[in-house]
Structure 1
């Protein structure tokens, strides 16, 4: 098992979209992110309380999905140690130049084929006069429009074998599994893992279509439940598709809203975001198949698309082959 806390946190993600301009407008007008740069087919966006240069990269592509998930190492020594560990697994790809604001990045995949980047060197977000906050311990001024999303909270991947991906994160990157769903046949249907004192950073859910490398959703933390309720009205005014919510998850107890951005990716708004796990000897919570069949903690019954929609879609992958 790898040492804990050599991964500092989930850092930022590259999201693919076939409708780049519309996806950018969604991120700025609805989520309240700010554009901090662009380069070719990529646009870089910042959440108002993220200390790093940017939170999200939108990349033009023929279909939706997640291109890469970036993690920041806790130190240069931790970076070297985790790279050495990854290379023993056969999942390493190699070093690449980082995105603007980020240093050399080591690329690798999980057992399911999702691509990751691991780095240490990072440029902190630099305020302009327009974005300078009144409080110096805040990264940027509170946006006047949109939700607004405070920070990237977690990523939920779809995969063939959640247990294998969970074990990779634990054994190679030092993650902790906080909750999981155990089916009656003994297999793992989903696992929630963390690198920090948050209750979860990365989630793996079994892909009911039996596909690999897909995305279920990325999530942004909102300051309050009131922000999520307001987001429903903003979504209505802006024509944003609401898939389900607001409800409360039983697992992790998150108050949530799920929407689709114009490219087709599912986006969650959550409060309080992940809970805090302070116990050094945390006892993993296992949910049974019968317990999960009861649905959410409260709210409407989970709709079918929540179990079937992922990006890229099966049709997208068929067209690729």
Structure 2
């Protein structure tokens, strides 16, 4: 195998679009339990209580839904420059930005399916105001217990017309490792799970059965315990939030999960932070067959049909995503 590459340190943030801005913001702050860190233009910057950076979710008012961009922080300025050189040779570059409230200068580029990615090094680390100052100095913000109150951003899932192209892209552009994948009977790759560090995964990509490019599947924040997932289910129930599936445990990666739709229709997950770490430096990708995946999740729950059809933005009439 090639030498592992750790130029990219971790997932930094995701920008989600919403055509129901006030309703979405209320969900993320008061029901899901994130904290507003700042505002600029049509965007609000949100964070979980132990995210060390200024924000992990940029929520932007729009006439559509889905993901505007995803962002990773590199391990150094030199690492950022190395990754940019690789990406430009791949012919996927968009160019440099001046950054925003959450970070400094960044480099944007496209995935083979048209998703917008961003890499940056200079970041704005969160400085808790008096009202959010924690009792312990080794956490970023006090635990307020508002809503589901996840601890940190964990991962996101993209949809793509050809997962194999995303696999090759993530390995070459970001230096990701593929920890697990689904191999379909027809020879296509149905899904891949990627990591740039020692987490089990920070990004997943699954096949878009609608044939539409560049869509978004879900964003996930992590809580400390599986009991937090059960508590979140009751909170969502009491607040009229649509629960799509769960609580249950995934077969792939082993996380305890709960999926809901925020008011604009973007799928949001809360999962436990205690999922497996990949410490093996020459980890061999776990390959799941189509027959194995048809057995459902870890305890036998069948994967709900909407998990294969619902994504944002919705496809045009005549597609498979209503």
TM interval, shorter chain, is: over 0.9
Of the structure 1 ranges 300-309 and 278-287, higher mean CA displacement relative to structure 2 is found in: 300-309
Q: CA deviation at 1:316?
A: 8.3
CA distance in 2, matches of 1:40, 1:77: 31
1:116 aligns with 2:117: yes
| Residues 257-268 of structure 1: pairs in structure 2 closer than 5 A | 257-268=258-269
Q: TM-score, normalised by structure 1?
A: 0.96
1:219 aligns with 2:220: yes
**Structure 1 pair 17–274 and aligned structure 2 pair: CA distance change class (3 A):** farther
Structure 2, unaligned stretches of length 5 or more? none
CA distance in 2, matches of 1:278, 1:204: 22
Q: CA deviation at 1:300?
A: 3.1
| Cα displacement string for residues 49-107 of structure 1 (whole angstroms, at most 9, x for unaligned residues) | 00001110000111110000001010000000000000011110000111213010101
- 2:232 is paired with a residue of what secondary structure? helix
Name 1:7's counterpart in structure 2. Answer: 8
Whether contact under 8 Å (1:2, 1:172) holds in the other structure is: no
| Cα displacement string for residues 225-282 of structure 1 (whole angstroms, at most 9, x for unaligned residues) | 1111011111111111101100111000111000000011000111136421000011
Count residues with an aligned counterpart.
318
Structure 1, unaligned stretches of length 5 or more? none
CA distance in 2, matches of 1:168, 1:41: 31
- The CA RMSD measured in Å over matched residues stands at 1.5
CA distance in 2, matches of 1:144, 1:110: 37
Q: CA deviation at 1:305?
A: 0.8
CA distance in 2, matches of 1:39, 1:45: 12
Name 1:314's counterpart in structure 2. Answer: 315
Name 2:25's counterpart in structure 1. Answer: 24
Name 1:298's counterpart in structure 2. Answer: 299
Name 1:89's counterpart in structure 2. Answer: 90
CA distance in 2, matches of 1:2, 1:91: 23
Q: TM-score, normalised by structure 2?
A: 0.96
CA distance in 2, matches of 1:273, 1:218: 17
CA distance in 1, matches of 2:170, 2:3: 9
- 1:315 is paired with a residue of what secondary structure? coil
CA distance in 1, matches of 2:313, 2:144: 31
Q: CA deviation at 1:40?
A: 1.8
CA distance in 1, matches of 2:199, 2:176: 11
Q: CA deviation at 1:172?
A: 2.2
